[in-house]
């Protein structure tokens, strides 16, 4: 596709359940980022991949959150034992390369996660 | 992490009015970015300002970077309902791979 694609667009899950959120970056983009946006706030950085490896996962809030990008393209954000406080919009972005000044990151439409 | 403070938090105006929103910090930045995020969408980059005192125009939007590179403003002339959205200022971290956002100004333009 032409842009960053995230699925599902909406996810409602029960407290304690496991969820997976998927991100398809723009073809050829080696850098991929996950952000979380709570209501009334700006996006907060979670994790950055350059290729297959997580170059910086300092934004992941705790060990219930994990992300993978096994083939350097599609990425999955995994949340175990979900809590109501995990409810937020989860945004994915990609760029041609990370760490290059002037390289724009393009965002997907996000996955709205609601934990009930 | 350097803090970006955006004001006002919320602004509701009539179509045709002018407005200015602000992004302030006590830190100096090599550049600042402005994004617009519409409901149900991801943020879209509008502009990057790099030089202190720089003014950039994008149709009815005028962006200014403070002389000391600590603050920025966005002025919209003759606002239209299509300008409705969340306006976010942001900067890139030293390594350039992480974008740090302010909390945003939520603008609503009534027809």
- pLDDT tens for B87-96 read 999 998 877 7
Beta carbons of B44 and A107 less than 8 Å apart: yes
List chain B domain ranges: 5-110
Among the CATH numbers 2.60.40.10, 2.40.37.10, 3.40.50.1100, 1.10.260.40, which is that of B5-110?
2.60.40.10
Asked if the model's pLDDT at residue B4 lies above 60, the reply is yes
Residue B1 binned pLDDT confidence (cut-offs 50, 70, 90):
low
The pLDDT profile of chain A, 116 residues, written as one tens digit per residue, is 589 999 999 999 999 999 999 999 999 999 999 999 999 899 999 999 999 999 899 999 999 999 999 999 999 999 999 999 999 999 999 999 887 767 789 999 999 999 99
Of A92, A37, A5, the C-alpha closest to B39 is: A37
Residue B58 is predicted with a pLDDT of 96
Rounded to a whole number, what is the distance in angstroms from the first to the last CA of chain B?
39
Residue A97 is predicted with a pLDDT of 83
Fold designation for A5-99: Immunoglobulin-like (2.60.40)
How far apart CA A77 and CA A13 sit, in angstroms, is 15
Residue A98 is predicted with a pLDDT of 80
Q: Tell which A residues from 40 to 69 touch B, by Cβ distance under 8 Å.
A: 40-45, 48, 50, 55-56, 59
**B9, B45, B96 member nearest A100 (Cβ):** B96
Beta carbons of B99 and A31 less than 8 Å apart: no
Sequence-separated (6 or more) residues with CB below 8 Å from residue A33: A45, A46, A47, A48, A49, A92, A93, A94, A95, A98, A105, B97, B98, B99
Question: Is the distance from CB of B6 to CB of B104 less than 8 angstroms?
Answer: yes
Asked if the model's pLDDT at residue B66 lies above 80, the reply is yes
Token pair 């724009």 in the structure block, residue = A104
Q: What is the pLDDT of residues B7-60, one digit of tens each?
A: 999 999 999 999 999 999 999 999 999 999 998 899 999 999 999 999 999 999
List chain A domain ranges: 5-99
- Judging contacts by C-beta atoms under 8 Å, the chain A residues touching residue B43 are 43, 91, 107
């Amino acid at each position: 596709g032409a842009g960053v694609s995230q699925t599902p667009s909406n996810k409602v899950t029960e407290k304690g359940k496991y969820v997976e959120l998927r991100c398809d970056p723009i073809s050829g983009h080696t850098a991929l980022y996950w952000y979380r946006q709570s209501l009334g706030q700006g996006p907060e950085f979670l994790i950055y991949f350059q290729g297959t490896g997580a170059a910086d996962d300092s934004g992941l809030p705790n060990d219930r959150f994990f992300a993978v990008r096994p083939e350097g393209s599609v990425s999955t954000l995994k949340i175990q034992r979900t809590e109501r406080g995990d409810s937020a919009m989860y945004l994915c972005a990609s760029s041609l390369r990370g760490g290059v000044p002037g390289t724009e990151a393009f965002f997907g439409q996000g996955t709205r996660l609601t934990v009930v | 992490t350097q803090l970006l403070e955006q004001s006002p938090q919320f602004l509701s105006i009539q179509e045709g009015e002018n407005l200015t929103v602000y992004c302030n910090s006590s830190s100096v930045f090599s550049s600042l970015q402005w994004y617009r995020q519409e409901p149900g969408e991801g943020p879209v980059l509008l502009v990057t300002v790099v030089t202190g005192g720089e003014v950039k125009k994008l149709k009815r939007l005028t962006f200014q970077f403070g002389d000391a590179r600590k603050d920025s403003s966005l002025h919209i002339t003759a606002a239209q309902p299509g300008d409705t959205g969340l306006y976010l200022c942001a900067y890139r971290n030293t390594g350039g791979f992480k974008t740090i956002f302010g909390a945003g100004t939520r603008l609503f333009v009534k027809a």
